[in-house]
Amino acid sequence: MSGPLASLKVLDFSTLLPGPFATLLLADMGAEVLRVESPTRPDMVRLLPPSEDNVSAVHGYINRSKRSLALDLKTPEGREVVHRLVKDYDIVVEQFRPGVMDKLGVGYETLKAINPGLIYCSITGYGQDGPYRDRAGHDLNYLSIAGMTSYNGRRDSGPAPMAFQVADVAGGPCHAVMGLLAAVIHRQNTGEGQQLDISMTDAAFSLHGLAAPPALVAGEDPALEATTLNGGSFYDCYRTRDGRYLSVAGLEPQFFSQFCAALGQPDLAAKGLSRDPADVAEVKAIIAEAIGAQDYDHWCRLFADLDCCVEPVLSFSEAARHPQLQARGMVVEVPRHDGGRQRQVASPFKFSATPVGYRFSGARLGQHGEEVLREQGFADDDIARLRDAGALG
């Protein structure tokens, strides 16, 4: 594998989306990732339709370039395999509820005693401590507890779910990777490993970049359609005559004045930055009426050569065909295990000296078990013993 992280080896005990998305980022950047999966409790992502090569397309993407070892950690033999593997690995990623890995005999203190330089990352909904540490949750719950859902939506319909999993993707995984790489640098300087506690609720709470300072300093909580960026200004999406939408985001005066001129409403620019609710309502009504008077294609042609922060709202499939994303190579074809190829979203990282790579789409459960064990020095008799004990799937 190429990539700047080609020297790192990662044991991944996570399932579903947050942990696997974190290790996807690491694998794309060259880390050697080994998924340690239960042979009896399959990752639910493996069952999501549609499928190619009898493998879920979502699994194929989220777990690309990662090898799979099916291991029952409830057996002494399974735990022994992990204790042996961890001597040769740099990082562990897990997302069980707090205490579960300890009960399985593969918690941080146990593995740290075997490999003192180990970096051990635990991703959970609420963190390793606090009154919610053992509470179940999903992305919408974490965002709600973090105060983010309260100002996402419309006044007339109330808060709404986010369009994608902010805590599960932009929160937990991305913060986990940042923390892991910081811990790697610390270990390079000191030789010391450590445990990293990532709460997806904490991570979501930290994303209130513009809303937190007014709330914490002046007690001004953000509300539905009350901030510049959540519908409380002309910064919004507007429906065309044929039912498509345009995003209008030219907050700076030079952009908004150009936009107003293109609409045939040059005088509207004077009210564009007003925070008065009556002015905002008037501006938005005029924009909505103007855009609603013409079809989507008309506006796409008009704004194609104007630099005023107006873009069409595209479906995912349209986005994948957009010339900008095509020029950036953001859709790639990754080898499947049947010899075919699967179209997937590419890594967003562009390194000049250490490009990212894609080895294969997500593996079948336990596909690399014997291969991995032999690399670690397990003999055929050892592997047979593990199978007989029910430890190896």
Exposure pattern of 16-27 as b/e (b: 16+ CB <10 Å)? ebbbbbbbbbbb
What would the two tokens of residue 59 be? 């699994």
Options 28, 168, 202, 382, the catalytic residue: 168
Could you write out the DSSP letters of every residue in 65-133?
Answer: TEEEEEB-TTSHHHHHHHHHHGGG-SEEEE-SPTTHHHHTT-SHHHHHHH-TT-EEEEEESS-SSSTTT
Tokens of 281: 């309502």
Neighbours of 170 (CB within 10 A): 17
Asked about 138 being catalytic, the answer comes back as yes
What is the number of other CB atoms lying within 10 angstroms of the CB of residue 324?
Answer: 8
363 within 8 A of 46, measured Cβ to Cβ? no
Q: Which residues pair with 236 in a beta bridge?
A: 248
What's phi and psi for 196, nearest 5 deg?
-115, 120
101 burial via Cβ count (<10 Å: 0-12, 13-18, 19+): buried
**What is the 3-class SS of 351-388, one letter each residue?**
CCCCCCCCCCCCCCCCCCHHHHHHHCCCCHHHHHHHHH
Report CA torsion sign: 297, 303, 308, 309. Answer: positive
Q: Which residue in the list 53, 83, 138, 298 is annotated as catalytic?
A: 138
Cα 257–chain centre separation: 36
β 91-94/119-124 pair status = parallel
Nearest to 391 by CA among 92, 382, 224: 382
Long-range contacts at 209-218 (CB < 8 A, ≥ 24 apart): 211/151
Q: Pull the structure tokens for residue 202.
A: 């904490």
Q: Find the Cα–Cα–Cα–Cα dihedral 125, 130, 132, 135, rounded to 10°.
A: 70
314 token code pair: 């595209």
DSSP label at 267?
A: G
Q: Catalytic residue numbers?
A: 138, 168
